[in-house]
Chain A
Amino acid sequence: MTSSLSQCDSHEASGLANPSSPSPPLLGRAWCHLTDTLWVAPALFLVVAIMVIPSAVAIGHSFTDWTPGYESPWVGLQNYRDLLSQPVYHEVLRNQAFLLIGLPLWVLFPLVVAALLYERVPAAAVFRTIFFFPAILSPAIIGILFRTLLADDGAINETVRSIGLGFLAQDWLVQANLVKPTLIIVLAWAGMGTGVVIFAAALSAVPTELFDAAEIDGASWLQRFRYVLIPSIAHVIVFWAVFQVVAVFLFIFGWVWVLTRGGPGYASTTMDFDVYQNSLNFGFFGLAAAESVLLFGIVLAIVSVGWLATRAVRRSRT
């Protein structure tokens, strides 16, 4: 272990005092510990100042009729009651739940691609690059492209019409019944690269003998996928699934903002977009604060359950 790394007292496993070792002068040690904390101080200062304190301010203001710059009277749980009694908010929650239908796609697509690339495919490195590149593009950048692709007279509809399948052409981002499925597909596209790289990295640690043996025994590709590949990286698959669920709550804002602005109506408004809209567009700051606290609570619950699930899978393997 790294017990001898503490510089202030080399006989001390940092934090654990060793009574048999002679203590250096107290003042010198205190000074040493003080300067030592300077290594971690910048990180602590930045996350506390920029993430923790503003979040605490938001939580506090969720119990007030918040108007930044003015007096914000205490209203107790009124914001939460208002929020939960709004039909619009129920629609937002339903939208969020609807998007989770995409989870099997978000897990299966990158898993299949990683599996195909793991077995012998010509120019596997080129394919990896192709799948991975979109992962570094943000919705703000790629969204411009997707808007032109998905528009009524956009490239997707043009292509469909030009090959005589015009009945498939739809106004993907404007029709209320299509906008959420479209968003699910776009998210599958955006998450593909990261998923492929994570699964590929996990697979590279799996001995190929497992697959060779299965192949010699006459297992088909599908059988190898189901009975060898999935069990051997089950913990990574569960981890990725949990991450995708969390991402739907944490990182979907950019796509909604660029592609639909939550519309048509509220048909594609997600929780994080609604927080933004309620505060910066409509000026319901207290309500938005309460909404962001609820969102935080949901994310915490998912992460806790997901953490336990990942641990359970990991344990069942060993």
Chain B
Amino acid sequence: MTARALSIPRTALVIVMAIPFVAPFLYLIATALRTRDDYIGSRVGFPQELTLSHVRYVWNTADLGRAMVNSLITSTIAVAVLILVSAMAGYWFLRHTSWMARVLLGLIVSLWVIPFVIYLLPLFVILSDAGLTDNLAVLGVVYAATNLPFGVFFMFTYLRNGIPSDVFEAAQVDGASTFREFFWIVLPLSRPALATLAALGFVWTWGDLLLSLVMLQTEDNYTLTVAASAFITRTDAGVQELAAAALVAIAPLIVVFLLAQRAIERGFVAGVGK
């Protein structure tokens, strides 16, 4: 493998293409954190005077603190259910190679092509009749379910490609039960895949609006996206307040991204490399 020469035109092209992916975030941060006078003076210029007053204002008026806790509860439940149920199902499909099991796996995986809008309303009616709407735990389970077609497929593929089958054979020679094998071998060995699935499940649940919007009725239960988007429609919300609301909604995702970017990329490499 020869070391490739550094190419100036290519580097310049990458930088130019990166501008639209950096500039909006710089604008967002600047707009949310600068004083009103400073913003009016030059809207897209470099900020001179910083303030937290816009963030404080939206935090208090839109009750974003409570909304953030609600989003955390929903996302945590969604992630826990998603990774546990996906790993269990992936493990079952690893052990069952009959054509019926294969068809079942194919059916579950193919459910991702069902448009969300087709089952949204009937699901709401069913849950509403059972008194299960406006409930963060139920919402979390629903989010987990909508991500299961991906989760089951992902865990099955990882277990099949990422763990050598003689590990299982050795465990069986030792007389390990399915239960022990799952908790002592499968789960510890699939930690990278579980991290990837958890990160994806978290950002998908955290970011979704439609399902929360339909399933939650009382303001005390609003998730962050619902509370922030309800804030948009307020007539007194200016650009700076909107930017502050968006910044609050994005901040937790930045943390997750910094923690999990490597996990997600590792997951990709494990999936594609084999």
Q: A58 contacts which of B118, B142, B272 (Cβ < 8 Å)?
A: B118
A144 touches B229 (CB 8 A): yes
Chain B positions 101-159 with a Cβ under 8 Å from a chain A Cβ: 101, 104, 108, 110-111, 113-123, 125-126, 141-142, 144-146, 148-149, 152
Q: Is the interface of A mostly helix, strand, loop or mixed?
A: helix
CB contacts under 8 Å to B, within A232-285, are 246, 249-250, 253-254, 257-258, 272, 275-276, 279-280, 285
- The answer to the question of A182 belonging to the interface, with a C-beta cut-off of 8 Å to chain B, is no
Complex: A60 Cα to B142 Cα, angstroms: 22
**Residue from A15, A142, A158 within 8 A of B96 (CB atoms):** A15
- In the complex, chain B residues whose CB is within 8 Å of the CB of A93: none
Distance, CA A208 to CA B1, complexed state (A): 7
CA distance A247 to B183 in the complex (A): 36
Check A43–B85 contact: CB distance below 8 A: yes
Binary contact readout A42-58 vs B (1 if CB under 8 angstroms, 0 otherwise): 11101101111111011
Q: Are B229 and A258 in contact (CB under 8 A)?
A: yes
A21 → B minimal CB distance (Å) = 16
Q: Which residues of chain A come closer than 8 Å to B148, judged between CB atoms?
A: 43, 46-47
Would A121 and B152 count as touching, CB distance under 8 A? no
User: Counting CB contacts under 8 A, is A119 at the interface?
Assistant: yes
Does B192 lie at the interface of the complex (its beta carbon under 8 Å from any beta carbon of A)? no
Asked if A205 meets B146 with Cβ closer than 8 Å, knowing A116-B14, A119-B7, A189-B21, the reply is no
A236 to B, closest residue via Cβ: B272
* Chain A residues whose CB sits within 8 angstroms of the CB of B4 once the complex forms: 119-120, 215
A50-B168 CB under 8 A given contacts A15-B100, A204-B269, A253-B117: no
Q: Mark A12-28, 1 if CB is under 8 A from B, else 0.
A: 01111000000000000
Q: Flag if A296 contacts B210 (CB, 8 Å).
A: no
Beta-carbon contact of B115 and A204 below 8 Å: no
- Are B5 and A120 touching (Cβ within 8 A)? yes
Question: How far apart are the CA atoms of A152 and B239 in the complex, in Å?
Answer: 12
B69: Cβ under 8 A from any A Cβ: no
- Does chain B have a CB within 8 A of A218? no
B118 close to A293 (CB less than 8 A): yes
Q: Is B33 an interface residue (CB 8 A)?
A: no
Comparing A84-92, A97-105, A132-140, A168-176, the segment that makes contact with chain B is A132-140
Indicate the member of A42, A53, A136, A192 with the most B CB atoms within 10 Å: A136
B119 touches A54 (CB 8 A): yes
- In the complex, what distance in Å separates the CA atom of A303 from the CA atom of B117? 18
0 or 1 for each of A136-163: is its CB under 8 Å from B? (1 = yes): 1111111011111101001100110010
Q: With A132-B261, A137-B250, A300-B113 given, is the CB distance from A145 to B122 under 8 Å?
A: no
Min CB–CB distance B98 → chain A (angstroms): 2
Contacts of A49 in B (CB 8 A): 145
Contacts of B152 in A (CB 8 A): 43
> A2-B168, A162-B44, A250-B115 given as contacts; is B6 within 8 A of A120 (CB)?
yes
- What CA separation (Å) do A7 and B95 show in the bound complex? 8
A-B pair count, CB < 8 Å, reads 290
Q: Indicate if the CB atoms of B88 and A42 lie closer than 8 Å.
A: yes
Q: Interface residues of B, CB < 8 Å — how many?
A: 101
- Inter-subunit contact B119/A58 (CB<8 Å): yes
**A208, B6: Cα distance in complex, Å:** 16
Name the residue on A nearest B159 (C-beta): A2
Q: Which residues of B contact A147 (CB under 8 A)?
A: 232, 242
Find the A residue at minimum CB distance from B91: A39
CB of A82 closer than 8 Å to a CB of B? no
Total A residues in contact with B, Cβ cutoff 8 Å: 104
Q: Shortest CB–CB separation between residue A7 and chain B, in angstroms?
A: 5
| A2 in contact with B108 (CB, 8 Å) | no
A189–B228 alpha-carbon span in the complex (Å): 22
Nearest to B18 among chain A residues (CB) is A130
Q: Which residues of A contact B116 (CB under 8 A)?
A: 250, 253, 272
Binding site for A on B (CB under 8 A): 1-7, 10-11, 13-14, 17-18, 20-22, 24, 27-28, 31, 43-44, 81, 85-86, 88-89, 91-101, 104, 108, 110-111, 113-123, 125-126, 141-142, 144-146, 148-149, 152, 160, 165, 168-169, 172, 177-178, 182, 203-204, 206-210, 214, 225, 228-229, 232, 239, 242-243, 245-246, 249-250, 253, 256-257, 261, 264-265, 268-269, 271-273
28 A-B residue pairs with CB within 8 Å:
A7-B95, A7-B172, A13-B97, A14-B96, A39-B178, A39-B182, A40-B92, A43-B86, A44-B89, A44-B104, A50-B146, A52-B111, A53-B126, A54-B119, A58-B118, A112-B13, A116-B14, A122-B6, A142-B250, A144-B232, A149-B24, A151-B239, A204-B272, A204-B273, A246-B113, A253-B210, A280-B214, A300-B113
- Per CB-CB distance, the 4 closest pairs between chain A and chain B, nearest first, are A15-B98, A138-B207, A140-B209, A54-B119
Further 6 A-B residue pairs, CB within 8 A, beyond A40-B92, A120-B7, A127-B14 = A58-B121, A116-B17, A120-B6, A140-B207, A148-B243, A155-B43
Please report A residues at the B interface, Cβ cutoff 8 Å. 1-7, 10, 13-16, 36-37, 39-40, 42-44, 46-47, 49-55, 57-59, 61, 68-69, 109, 112-113, 116-117, 119-122, 127, 129-134, 136-142, 144-149, 151, 154-155, 158-159, 162, 189, 192, 197-198, 201-202, 204-205, 208-209, 212, 215, 221, 246, 249-250, 253-254, 257-258, 272, 275-276, 279-280, 285, 288-289, 292-293, 295-296, 299-300, 303
